[in-house]
Chain A
Amino acid sequence: MKAAVIVFPGSNRDGDVVRALRQAGAEVSRVWHAETALPAGTDLAVLPGGFSYGDYLRCGAIAGRANAMDAVRAHAARGGLVLGICNGFQILCESGLLPGVLMRNVNRRFICHRQLLRVERTDTAFTRAYGERQVIDVCVAHGEGNYYADPETLARIEGEGLVAFRYCDAAGTLTEDANRNGSVNSIAGIYSQTRTVLGLMPHPENFVEDLVGGTDGRGLFESLARAA
């Protein structure tokens, strides 16, 4: 598995995701946003969390139009894997690689806490290491994570089984309390139509070591490391 982590001005979680990928056995390089191509043989492009361009205009809007994103779009069009975490998810929505948009949290606050997620399907390159409907313990840290799509798009996402993760309680139940940012249908992450592009707001890369609180994030990186 060769992974390329794209770094934008204001990315700040690239170090963590590089570490999580290497821990799972991936070969990782960093790619500056101004580059026009990904390294030869890249299997997975990763858009890390952070505050690209200071969240100016809209979160992910300017990064979504960076040179490197043309290369990521071409990679995705060839069937290459793409993972966007937090700001990376916002960038994927802004660049048109995923449908919908991440709006300001419904409670208007930056939320930063441990978060339970329900894994919606385990037959993708991102989730094979998880169990069916497994509830995983990871973290969220964002001010704009309120996923929204118009009713027609939402019906398509649900109908085609493109929801990757949902905010839930310990029993895997979708409650209003668990869905603190107010996302439609408690959506925490979605796939592209081919399930080769994944965007999610929570941070699986935070929880890959017992030392810092948990290891439930490892499954995602281990799934990816096995995928190629």
Chain B
Amino acid sequence: MKARVTVTLKNGVLDPQGKAIEGALRSLGIAGIAGVRQGKFFEVEVEAADRAEAEATVKAACDRLLANTVVENYRVEIA
């Protein structure tokens, strides 16, 4: 089974990289961009009997390593 994990910074946490990208887009002349927040995306191959088990495995992976929940949120989708 495939899982897709998206890790994003929590609201209110400063994102200097997102700000730099936003500035770069502006300097490229791409209009209409109000803000950029940078995150991370993981594709995880899971061995599990069913979706619930796969989701539990990937959530454990997020809590223990993939995300730092002090400043990051994560979202898991099982494909």
Contact = CB atoms under 8 A, between A and B. Distances in A.
Nearest to B67: A58
Contact of B65 (A57, A101, A103, A149): A57
Contact of A106 (B13, B16, B64): B16
Contacts of B13: 103, 148
Given A108-B20, A149-B70, A150-B70, A103 B14 contact: yes
A105 B68 contact: no
Contacts of B66: 57
A93 B70 CA distance: 10
A72 B64 CA distance: 18
Nearest to B9: A103
Range of interface residues on A (Cβ < 8 Å)? 20 to 34
Interface string B46-77: 00000000000000000011101011000000
Interface centre among B19, B20, B65, B66, by most chain A C-beta atoms within 10 angstroms, is B65
Nearest to A62: B65
Contacts of B20: 108
A101 B14 CA distance: 12
A182 B14 CA distance: 10
A133 interface: no
Interface in B24-48: none
A101 B60 CA distance: 20
Nearest to A65: B65
A135 B20 CA distance: 34
A208 B4 CA distance: 49
A24 interface: no
A202 B64 CA distance: 28
Interface centre among B16, B19, B64, by most chain A C-beta atoms within 10 angstroms, is B16
Nearest to A64: B65
A182 B13 CA distance: 12
A106 B14 CA distance: 8
Contacts of A104: 16-17
A108 B68 CA distance: 20
Contacts of B70: 93, 99-101, 148-150
A71 interface: no
Interface in A102-158: 103-108, 146, 148-150
Interface of A: 57-58, 61-62, 65, 93-94, 99-101, 103-108, 146, 148-150, 182
Interface of B: 13-14, 16-17, 19-20, 64-66, 68, 70-71
Given A57-B65, A103-B16, A106-B14, 7 more contacts: A65-B64, A94-B68, A106-B16, A107-B16, A108-B17, A149-B70, A182-B14
13 contacts: A57-B66, A62-B65, A99-B70, A100-B70, A101-B68, A103-B13, A103-B14, A106-B16, A146-B16, A148-B14, A148-B71, A149-B70, A150-B70
